[in-house]
Structure 1
Amino acid sequence: MKLKLAVTAIVTALALSSCATSPTGRNQVLLYSEGQLAQMGDQAFTGMKEELKISNKPVQNSYVECVAKAITAQVPASVFDGVWEVVVFDDEQVNAFALPGGKIGVYTGLLNVAQNQDQLAAVIGHEVGHVIAEHGNERMSQSTLINIGTQAVGQVLAANEVSQSGPIMAAIGLGVQVGVQLPFSRTHESEADLIGLQLMARSGFDPRQSVDLWQNMEAASSGNRPMELLSTHPAPQTRIENLKANMSSAFTDFQSSSSRPRCS
């Protein structure tokens, strides 16, 4: 019991000493520094460039870079004040990502679903939104705290010779995944959607196209999605409803923007 109390105190101290607030006003626990995250992002990106085929189509690459440049121009210097590196990977995945340290990757498969510059901007804005909100830091911090807590429970069970400790630990793991990690991931996705919506609008891309994008995503998936409870991402219809609920302010930003990118 003393061990459990000690570990609980450590976890609590870590959480309290690392409190932050996301761009949408949500409380966060961030245990890692910006420098650590940037280094990890650079290492991961270097590895991907070595492992995956990079597109050699100049027009395609210029198009993606044009959209990304317009989006990243809206990123606060406090998040990243350098030149963003944008790479198009020749892969049929319908996906994109952004990493701390100014890295953006777009898979060519996404270009078949994001049918115009505004829809591509919705995806890139969403991915950059993860970086702005430090979701990578938050997820790693959460995993660190969960691992500390889970190890403590395991030691307590072993010390007290609790029967069926294996199934109990397995149940705890499943409970953490369904009850904490999956909803947490869905929260990140929804938050990145809203940050991305704002980014694309301020960059001069039509935010209404974000709804069309997710309709395209749903059609491309052919309905082959896990139930939302067991998914790390909200269902497309949930995302669409959230985007529509925030569309008025985003459209005002769009109309106020002096920028009108012409990426082709």
Structure 2
Amino acid sequence: MNWNVPLKILLLLSAGFLAACSTVEGTGRAQLNMMSLDEEISLGTSAYKEALADETIIRKGPAARRVRMVGERIAAAANARHPSIAGEFDWEFVLVDDDEIVNAWALPGGKCAVYSGMLRVARTDDMLAAVMGHEAAHAIARHGGERLTQSAVLGIATDIALQDSAPGSRQAVMTAMGVGVVLPFSRMQETEADYIGLFISADAGYDPRGAVQLWEAMAEQGASSIEFLSTHPSHGTRIDELEELMPRAMEVYENRMQVGLLEPVRLKEATPSLPARKKNRK
């Protein structure tokens, strides 16, 4: 192998990585993210429209109002706690009509969706706030840009290391790196979002004990995942970690209830460009 060219590439990459190093808002963890916040927000806005293009959006009724109300308070707390990131977001929270999906997500820029199936599990507003706070935390921690950077770095590193190897070697190494790097990295991001989201929901005036209740309810939905091969921590692990944080989170919650709730962020109506289109169900 001619190491001259790879060495030059690695030196250039190292310089780029140093420039891209930052810290996660809310935890202070060192983070490698080669995307700017503006780039992430632009990407999130485009992905949001694409993700919801074939979904049915529930715009009216008690469930939609509930998601909107909780979202307004979560956004207010996020903006207050993390103004340099969340303050740049144009928050949106929509309810997707799909009772079969127990899920929620948030994209860079504060574009969030909750599936109606999640409301069966998140029975109280405290539990729903735990879900929405967690998802908002992913956007605030800029996990999307970090994951894209990670994928690019792993791909480049693998190409350099295996440029003279057999074709099958690349797939084997990528699989091993997925188990050894990507999965633990994803679990770390989930744990970080649990941490940041717990304090956001508490500062929004929602009882943080709802987060433990949520994961207990999620565990009742089915068997716990095998943590070693999962991108998410097991339900038991999440509950244990949340319980450790609970005394501090309760202080934030009780203080918020004493001094009064933050002024909710007034969300605009669901983007008109997101049609309430009926899905073709099989």
Per the normalisation by structure 2, the TM-score is 0.85
**Residue 77 (structure 1) aligned with residue 83 (structure 2):** yes
**Which whole-Å CA distance do the structure 2 matches of 1:118 and 1:179 have between them?**
35
Distance in 2 separating the partners of 1:239 and 1:102 = 24
Q: What is the SS of the residue equivalent to 2:93?
A: strand
Q: Distance in 2 between matches of 1:176 and 1:6?
A: 23
For residues 214-233 of structure 1, the aligned pairs below 5 Å read: 214-220=215-221, 222-223=222-223, 225=225, 227-233=226-232
Q: Is residue 146 of structure 1 aligned with residue 154 of structure 2?
A: yes
1:212-250 Cα distance to aligned partner (Å, 9 max, x none): 100101111x1062x211110000000001101111100
What is aligned with 1:10?
12
Aligned to 1:248: 247
How far apart in 2 are the matches of 1:33 and 1:171? 32
Match of residue 112 from structure 1:
120
Query: Which residue of the partner structure matches residue 34 of structure 2?
Result: 31
CA contact (8 A) 1:11 1:149 kept: no
Q: Does the CA contact (< 8 Å) of 1:97 and 1:104 recur in 2?
A: yes
- For the 8 Å contact 1:3–1:152, the answer to whether it is kept is no
Deviation at 1:30, TM superposition (A): 1.0
CA contact (8 A) 2:96 2:113 kept: yes
Alignment of 1:38-57 (within 5 A): 38-57=41-60
Q: Distance in 2 between matches of 1:212 and 1:20?
A: 34
User: Could you list the runs of 5+ residues in structure 2 that have no partner in the other structure?
Assistant: 264-282
CA contact (8 A) 1:11 1:148 kept: no
Residue identity opposite 1:70 in structure 2: R
Displacement after TM superposition at 1:10 (Å):
2.5
- Name the structure 1 match of 2:179: 178
Q: Deviations over 1:99-138 (max 9, x none)?
A: 1122111100000001100000000000011111111111
Name the residue aligned to 1:87: 94
State the AA in 2 paired with 1:255: E
Partner of 1:102: 110
**Distance of 2:93 and 2:262 partners within structure 1:** 20
SS at match of 1:139: helix
**1:121-157: per-residue Cα shift (whole Å, max 9, x none)?**
00000001111111111111111111111121232x1
Q: Retained in 1: the 8 A contact 2:90–2:109? A: no
Q: CA RMSD in A?
A: 1.6
What percentage of residue pairs aligned between the two structures are identical? Answer: 38
What is the count of residue pairs matched by the alignment?
Answer: 252
- Matched position secondary structure for 1:104: strand
Correspondence list, 1:140-219, <5 A:
140-155=148-163, 157=164, 162=165, 165-219=166-220
TM score, norm. by length of structure 1? 0.91
Q: Is the 8 A contact 1:98 1:104 kept in 2?
A: yes
> CA–CA distance in 1 between the matches of 2:59 and 2:92?
16
Q: State the secondary structure of the residue aligned to 1:115.
A: coil
Unaligned runs of 5+ in 1: none
Which runs of at least 4 in structure 1 moved beyond 3 Å after TM superposition?
Answer: 80-83
